[in-house]
Structure 1
Amino acid sequence: MTSRQPQLPLRLGIIGLSASATTSWASAAHLPGLLSDHGKRDYTIKALCNSSVEAARNAIETYKLPPDVKAYGTPEDLAADNDIDVVICSTRVDKHYETILPSVRAGKKVYVEWPIASNSKQIEELVQAAKSSGAKVAVSLQGRWVPPVAKIREIVKSGTLGRVLSSSISAFGGTNNRNGLPPGLDYFLDWKVGGNIITIGFGHLIDFTLSALGDFVPGTTSARTQIQWQENNIVDPKTKEVVRTAKSDVPDLISVHGELTSPSGNLMPGATLSAQYRRGQPFKGEPSLLWHINCERGEIRLRSMNGAALQATGYDNPPQVQIHHFHNDTVEDIKWEWEKEQLDVPVFTRGIMSCLYAFAESETDGWVSIEDVAHRAEQINAWVTKGKW
């Protein structure tokens, strides 16, 4: 069973647009784009679902949404609304499964933040539910389509530099402090929750990297992880005082090495990728993201001083893409640009909105499905728990 593309604008329900949440991803990354001219062409907000009807009503009032926006207190009630075409889920990771499953079973289009869910059992159930109902489920791995990554993918696939011989990427981020978190994010220290600096930060990093190069050959990867800060400070964001400490079972460092494969044949047999991600800040003055792709006739480099999260960075100091041409030993600066519709929204929301626009306008292009990316969660879990995939 397959769903037919509804007529635009799609009628939208949002789960997790809160007026009081610790983090404000839905309001910061989704709402500006949805309320833009392009966003209104693709979507019209018709419902909010929060922990209670009252909480949903408070959010409707806080964000000055139209008075006809419905307020729901359970995912089941939202899923039962036949006037809703699409559901966006922007909650804590450990709430994804229970909040989107009713809508997936109802056959609605669902857009869920990455990571998909807390564990592989939940992810598999969501995949099977989508297959049974015909629901299309998009996963928010928007880093694949931000312009610097798209430009690198274009260069690699063109073959102008020959085949890829090897690649390395190192990044720092995940939290603003190496061993501190605000009280509302202390769940980042609990692996079973599913949302932490490895699954989120490294997950986005490895996904956009592999989107440009191919994927790992199963059975060839090895990984090392390290918990560098077993005791973490929980810091009051206003007073900056440590209110308590909390233990962590989530690694602060992950290093993965493996052989790459690509159906397009743009890789030298045996080409490898080495990827390392460390929580916190880099050495002062050094880039937070450095990505090299060594090819037969040249080397590509992406350098970012403004954060490793290319899918959500503010771009105050835009990432730099360059090519070192071997034949004449010159370095070329590679230009990349935002698409016109992306320029209409704040920089912070451009990556995610390009995927949401594509999800509304295309059956397959510009967004990643849950079926296509479920194995990414399996890879990360295997690297952390088994040291290999």
Structure 2
Amino acid sequence: MTSAIRPVRAALIGLSSSGNSSWASAAHLPALLTETGRSKITIAALANSSVQAAESAIQKYGLPEHTKAYGSPEDLAADLDMDLVICNTRVDKHYETILPSIKAGKDVYVEWPIASNRKQIDEIVEAAKKSGSRVAVGLQRRWTPPAAKLRDILDSGNVRLGKVLSSDVRAFGGTNDRETMPTGLKYFSQKDIGGNAIVIVLDIVLSVVGRLDAQSVYSKSQIQRPNIRIQDPQTKQTVEQVTTDVPDFLAVHGTIAHSLLTAPNATLSFLFRRGQPFPGTPALTWTINCEYGEILITSATRMTFQMSEGDEPVVVQVHHFDTQEVENVVWDWSDMQKDVPVIGRDVMTSLFAFAEGKAEGEGWVGLEDAATYARMVDGFLEEWQENQIG
């Protein structure tokens, strides 16, 4: 459905006139409004909770008057002029907003997580198989430059570093505070909605070292701090107190699936705790231990790598055992990425790759790949629930 002759005609779902700090306005819109973005994708329509809401957003963001406004997913799906649907709603709205377009055979880019639960995800996968719809899922941080650089090191440096023997990850964050959440992230405390921060950093790790052998995985989840204060981000005042049913601690241990890059029985140890780390400790400390060297990745301010101008850049270092040399690895954003704020740079990479019709895995994550990952994450949470019942 994509075209090399004219820009892809896209509809954005979830670009709200009241969402000044929404993911759609902060991470997607800047890329689409660059010169490169306009040459690849035309914003031809907005879809919101009502036609009036869509019209209000069209006016707020200065989009052309001929931009179409939709108030229902079904009406959008019926528009034969729309090539691509980009979904940025809250997770619990993904299923109802993208399913009609998938059934209509349109290309769909949906932010992660795919949907709120496994049943919805399975139905979306089956609908895409039947219609032939291409669906990309917003696990775009697999292509963030530090992750891409790490894959290059392991691919090209395999002779010098040898095979991966083990990898260890310690990650802290997800929210800025261990006992509070801003109003906009309240849904992080509600499992039924489906959003959480744990899985983004784990997906980055697995994109570098490889997937886990499902039979080998042992996981332990906890809710260490069940009582959460919801705060107004402007006033910092508590507006509500809730009890979360989403684990704020996860430990995973397993065998990395054997590949050309890994030694047999290479292991991954992953630990996540929501909230701040011990003072002076990086938000992310990640090591990849190889036969002849070790890679150290540290992210001082954010476990999911750099996502805003205020975040410290990710530091990548390689210790070569033969010379005892510690090499500082240089990485950088592309010139194209530097045209937009940091928060939108990885989105830009994947969205453009998908719109250009590149093959799955060449800059974007496909639906079935993402669904497999979602099932693994569900397994962690189900194990926790079973332990609670037991």
TM-score normalised per structure 2: 0.94
Give the counterpart of 1:322 among 317, 320, 327: 317
In the alignment, does 2:360 pair up with 1:375? no
**1:287–1:303: 8 Å Cα contact kept in structure 2?**
yes
Matched to 2:62, the amino acid is K
Matched to 2:238, the amino acid is V
- Measured in 2, the distance between the counterparts of 1:302 and 1:296 equals 17
SS of equivalent residue, structure 1 residue 17: coil
**2:258–2:265: 8 Å Cα contact kept in structure 1?**
no
* 1:181 to partner: Cα distance: 1.8
* 1:149 to partner: Cα distance: 0.4
* 1:209 to partner: Cα distance: 0.7
- Measured in 2, the distance between the counterparts of 1:311 and 1:15 equals 26
- Measured in 2, the distance between the counterparts of 1:236 and 1:182 equals 6
> Partner residue of 2:114?
116
Q: For 1:69-84, list aligned pairs within 5 A.
A: 69-84=67-82
Matched to 1:36, the amino acid is T
SS of equivalent residue, structure 1 residue 290: strand
> Partner residue of 2:388?
none
Gaps of 5+ in 2: 386-390
**1:232–1:246: 8 Å Cα contact kept in structure 2?**
yes
**1:311–1:352: 8 Å Cα contact kept in structure 2?**
no
SS of equivalent residue, structure 2 residue 336: helix
Of 234-243 and 223-232, deviating more is: 234-243
Give the counterpart of 2:26 among 28, 44, 64: 28
Give the paired residue count: 381
- Measured in 2, the distance between the counterparts of 1:182 and 1:345 equals 25
After superposition, the C-alpha distances for 1:281-321 in whole angstroms (9 at most, x for unaligned) are 11222211111000001000111112112273446421110
> In structure 2, do the counterparts of structure 1 residues 6 and 192 end up closer, same or farther at CA, with 3 Å as the change threshold?
farther
Q: For 1:39-54, list aligned pairs within 5 A.
A: 39-54=37-52
* 1:239 to partner: Cα distance: 2.5
TM-score normalised per structure 1: 0.94
* 1:205 to partner: Cα distance: 0.9
Matched to 2:242, the amino acid is A
- Measured in 2, the distance between the counterparts of 1:214 and 1:237 equals 38
**1:149–1:212: 8 Å Cα contact kept in structure 2?**
yes
- Measured in 1, the distance between the counterparts of 2:339 and 2:299 equals 23
> Partner residue of 1:16?
14
In the alignment, does 2:344 pair up with 1:349? yes
Matched to 1:384, the amino acid is L
In the alignment, does 2:190 pair up with 1:190? yes
- Measured in 2, the distance between the counterparts of 1:351 and 1:69 equals 26
SS of equivalent residue, structure 1 residue 191: coil
Identity %: 51
**1:213–1:262: 8 Å Cα contact kept in structure 2?**
no
**1:315–1:347: 8 Å Cα contact kept in structure 2?**
no
- Measured in 1, the distance between the counterparts of 2:32 and 2:135 equals 18
Give the counterpart of 2:227 among 220, 224, 231: 231
Matched to 2:214, the amino acid is P
Give the counterpart of 1:281 among 272, 276, 280: 276
> Partner residue of 1:206?
202
**1:183–1:236: 8 Å Cα contact kept in structure 2?**
yes
Q: For 1:96-245, list aligned pairs within 5 A.
A: 96-158=94-156, 159=158, 160-196=160-196, 201-245=197-241
> In structure 2, do the counterparts of structure 1 residues 262 and 214 end up closer, same or farther at CA, with 3 Å as the change threshold?
farther
* 1:184 to partner: Cα distance: 3.8
> Partner residue of 1:334?
329
SS of equivalent residue, structure 1 residue 61: helix
Matched to 1:237, the amino acid is P
- Measured in 1, the distance between the counterparts of 2:98 and 2:33 equals 23
**1:306–1:313: 8 Å Cα contact kept in structure 2?**
no
* 1:33 to partner: Cα distance: 0.5
SS of equivalent residue, structure 2 residue 333: coil
- Measured in 2, the distance between the counterparts of 1:127 and 1:310 equals 29
Give the counterpart of 1:297 among 279, 292, 310: 292
> In structure 2, do the counterparts of structure 1 residues 109 and 355 end up closer, same or farther at CA, with 3 Å as the change threshold?
same
**1:143–1:311: 8 Å Cα contact kept in structure 2?**
no
Gaps of 5+ in 1: none
